[in-house]
Amino acid sequence: MKNWLLLAGCLAWVLWDEDVCTHPARGDSTAVSLEAVGKAQDEVKRRLAVSWDKSFKISADGPYESGLPACGFRQTRRIRTQLPPELVGKSIGFGPSDRIPPADIRVATSARRILEVQADAMADRMLSERLGVRCSPTLIRALSEVELELVENP
Amino acid sequence: MSLWKILSVIAVCLLQDRLPYEGSIPAVAVIPRLDVTAVLRTWRIKGVMYCPWRGHTKPCLWVENAYPCGLLEVVRQQFKSHLPELPQFPLRTTTSGHNLGNLHFAETRVFTFVPPLVQELEIPIAAPRPKFLINYLSELDALGWRTGLLDLLFAFGKDCAGNWGCYSPRSGYVEQQSEVIAAHLQALRGGRVASQPFGRVVLFPYQFEPRTGHFIQMISPIVRPAVSIGSPDLEKLEKGNVSPFGAYLFAQWGLFDECRHCLDPRYLPARPPVK
């Protein structure tokens, strides 16, 4: 008897249909074209994919050129400038990526492909001016916290 | 994090070459994850301008708002990326990311990422031209990112992102109790290096220097709303946002102003962070 009651209860619960909540439309509405949205998304995807490919070629495959002219003849000069103690006794070599003079810190002044740069730093205008570099290749030695020796075309 | 979770993560790492986050977010998939409310939250009218346009005078609304301009990635595994588009780079012998006490080290990447406006909006919005570039990969800037040696030649002011930490030294080491806040700061420092190289190895200078008061949004491991850079609510920033792999992807939202046909989009200066 108990089982029959339980079964009847379950059937009543399953068959009971809850009222569907309805909300009347208010104001103007415009139908959304899912097809148009899909097409727009595909277009954005395509443009970004093309943009990525192009950008990678520009930013990584491109050459690097600092604009420093080539040194004419060997010349040694000294300049006075404030240097951090961590750099004293260290050498810094400026030169084209494949011909940087042997040094503790190697700075590339140019490279055929920026990704292939085998250097610790790039010779941008700020760095070249800070160290008084006029041409490439140049080998710098930090003699003290206030003096640098620059050997052009070493 | 429980021991069980840590062991699961280690097991996952050992069982597969690719980490779960690797290649999981194509650049296109970032767009639907962007917090578009950041545009509306920051949108304001600065005035009205009149300027000559095609033979007559045209008025324009001078507006200011945030707009996505970059992707900043922080990872603890070299040359691994959320973005599947990142091509293979020549591997170099350098140290990888790690934590040591409160000292966090991670690799950082910077990408210019200005998505196009998908549809014409009724309201004018300040938006730079769509662009996508790889700007900086800290793996290629080993000396600078690991030692900060060359930065010692230049005087960087004490510019800080509120109580998140300071933008310099511009290296991958951050002393910070929270890995999440450390990741935010490492991302911002990477952006600073890419925008002002000063001799650092940068593939392409980044136009949008991360600035205090502009916005940053976590995209991975969890999509979060954009927050003001330097926002004092640190608890909200870090709560539940830790990545089991120490890998984070952020969208940078710059603040721009523009008056269409009169004033091109301009990248605005830093300002106090908002809550």
Give pLDDT tens digits for B193-240: 999 999 999 988 999 999 999 999 999 999 999 999 999 988 888 888
pLDDT at residue A11, as a whole number: 66
A134 pLDDT higher than 90: yes
Contact B199 A126 (CB under 8 A): yes
Kindly indicate whether the ipTM for this predicted assembly is greater than 0.90, answering yes or no.
Answer: no
The angle at the Cα of A56, spanning A54 to A58, to the nearest 5 degrees, equals 70
Q: Tell me which chain A residues have a C-beta less than 8 angstroms from the C-beta of B90.
A: 115-116
Residue pLDDT, tens place only, B130-182: 888 889 999 889 899 998 898 999 988 889 999 999 999 999 999 888 999 99
Residue pLDDT, tens place only, A62-110: 788 999 999 999 999 999 999 999 999 999 999 999 899 999 999 999 9
pLDDT at residue A6, as a whole number: 66
- Structurally, how many domains does chain B consist of? 1
For testing contact with chain A, the best of B33, B133, B200, B206 (most A CBs within 10 A): B133
The angle at the Cα of B28, spanning A47 to B196, to the nearest 5 degrees, equals 90
Cα–Cα distance measured from residue B228 to residue B226, given in angstroms and rounded to the nearest whole number:
7
B183 pLDDT higher than 90: yes
Residue B272 belongs to a domain = no
Query: Helices in B117-244 by DSSP H: which ranges?
Result: 142-147, 179-195, 234-238
Query: Which residue type does B250 have?
Result: F
Residue B15 belongs to a domain = no
Q: B54 versus B188: which is more confidently predicted? A: B188
Q: Determine contact: B87 vs chain A, CB below 8 A.
A: yes
Contact A126 B90 (CB under 8 A): no
Q: Is the peptide bond before A137 cis (omega within 30 degrees of 0)?
A: yes
Nearest beta carbon to residue A86 from set B142, B149, B201: B149
B5 pLDDT higher than 60: no
Query: Helices in A16-64 by DSSP H: which ranges?
Result: 34-56
Q: B240 versus A37: which is more confidently predicted? A: B240
B6 pLDDT higher than 60: no
- How far does A111 lie from chain B, in Å, by closest CA? 12
B15 pLDDT higher than 50: no
Q: Determine contact: A58 vs chain B, CB below 8 A.
A: yes
pLDDT at residue A34, as a whole number: 77
- How far does A107 lie from chain B, in Å, by closest CA? 8
A55 pLDDT higher than 80: no
Residue B134 belongs to a domain = yes
Query: Which residue type does A151 have?
Result: V
pLDDT at residue B91, as a whole number: 56
Helix (H) or strand (E) holding B45: strand B44-53
**Chain centroid to CA B267:** 15
pLDDT band at A126 (very low <50, low <70, confident <90, very high): very high
Identify the residue whose tokens are 């992102």: B161
Cα–Cα distance measured from residue B229 to residue B272, given in angstroms and rounded to the nearest whole number:
9
Q: A33 versus A29: which is more confidently predicted? A: A33
B35 pLDDT higher than 80: yes
What pTM value is reported for the model? Answer: 0.83
Average pLDDT over residues A32-43: 74
Strand A75-80 relative to strand A91-96: parallel, antiparallel, unpaired?
unpaired
Instruction: Collapse the DSSP code of B217 into the 3-class scheme (helix H, G, I; strand E, B; otherwise coil) and give the result.
Output: strand
Most confident stretch, B4-18, B84-98, B166-180 = B166-180
pLDDT band at B13 (very low <50, low <70, confident <90, very high): very low
A49 pLDDT higher than 70: no
pLDDT at residue B229, as a whole number: 97
B115 pLDDT higher than 80: yes
Identify the residue whose tokens are 């030692």: B147
Cα–Cα distance measured from residue B99 to residue B172, given in angstroms and rounded to the nearest whole number:
11
Q: B208 versus B90: which is more confidently predicted? A: B208
Non-local CB neighbours of A119 within 8 Å, separated by 6+ positions: A97, A100, A106, A107, A108, A111, B201
Q: Tell me which chain A residues have a C-beta less than 8 angstroms from the C-beta of B202.
A: 122
Cα–Cα distance measured from residue B183 to residue B242, given in angstroms and rounded to the nearest whole number:
10
Query: Which residue type does B55 have?
Result: G
A4 pLDDT higher than 50: yes
pLDDT at residue B14, as a whole number: 44
pLDDT at residue B152, as a whole number: 92
Cα–Cα distance measured from residue A37 to residue A66, given in angstroms and rounded to the nearest whole number:
46
pLDDT band at A132 (very low <50, low <70, confident <90, very high): very high
Average pLDDT over residues B46-61: 89
pLDDT band at B184 (very low <50, low <70, confident <90, very high): very high
pLDDT at residue A40, as a whole number: 73
State which residue of chain A sits closest to B143, comparing Cα positions: A120
Average pLDDT for chain B: 87
Helix (H) or strand (E) holding B254: strand B248-259
Q: State which residues form the domain around B119.
A: 21-267
DSSP-assigned beta bridge partners for residue B48: B61
A48 pLDDT higher than 70: no
Rg (CA), chain B: 19
Q: Determine contact: B152 vs chain A, CB below 8 A.
A: yes
Among residues A101, A77, A78, which one has the least CA distance to residue A154? A101
Most confident stretch, B2-16, B58-72, B73-87 = B58-72
Running DSSP on this structure, what letter comes out for residue A28?
-
pLDDT at residue B151, as a whole number: 92
Q: Tell me which chain B residues have a C-beta less than 8 angstroms from the C-beta of A47.
A: 116, 130
Which of A70-84, B88-102, B248-262 shows the lowest per-residue confidence on average (mean pLDDT)? Answer: B88-102
CA distances from A48 to A52, A77, B35, B132, B238 (A): 6, 51, 19, 8, 31
Give burial (CB, 10 Å; 0-12/13-18/19+) of B188.
buried
**Contact predicate B267/B254, CB 8 Å:** yes
Query: Which residue type does A37 have?
Result: V
**Chain centroid to CA B223:** 14
Residue B153 belongs to a domain = yes
Residue B13 belongs to a domain = no
Residue B240 belongs to a domain = yes
Which of A23-32, A73-82, B124-133 shows the lowest per-residue confidence on average (mean pLDDT)? Answer: A23-32
pLDDT at residue B118, as a whole number: 57
